[in-house]
Amino acid sequence: MVKVYTTNVHSVNSADVILVELKRLHPVHRITIDLEDIDRVLRIEGPEIESELIIGCFVQQGFICSEMNDC
């Protein structure tokens, strides 16, 4: 399963903090944040991805995260 999200993370330090927390929640998933993309795209690959947990992690850190819909 692959899910893609838009975020408002702008710095490498903030992305690193969030990535550590996300990898703690989902240790077997491949997780990346593309800070060069205009939407600051978060991409998660792995089994059973719970969007509520992902979004909650961002909210706890003071950021916005929303799942992108398939076109």
> How do the domains of the chain map onto residue ranges?
2-67
**How far apart (Å, rounded) are the C-alpha atoms in residues 47 and 2?**
8
Run of H or E residues at 38:
none
Let me know if domain 2-67 sits in CATH 3.40.50.300: no
- Report residue 70's pLDDT band, with 50, 70 and 90 as the boundaries: low
**How far apart (Å, rounded) are the C-alpha atoms in residues 3 and 62?**
21
Q: Whole-prediction pTM value?
A: 0.91
Helices (H), 1-71: 12-25, 51-60
Q: State the amino acid at position 23 in one-letter form.
A: K
What's the pLDDT tens digit per position in 22-41? Answer: 999 899 999 999 999 999 99
- When computed from its CA atoms, the radius of gyration of the chain, rounded to whole angstroms, is 11
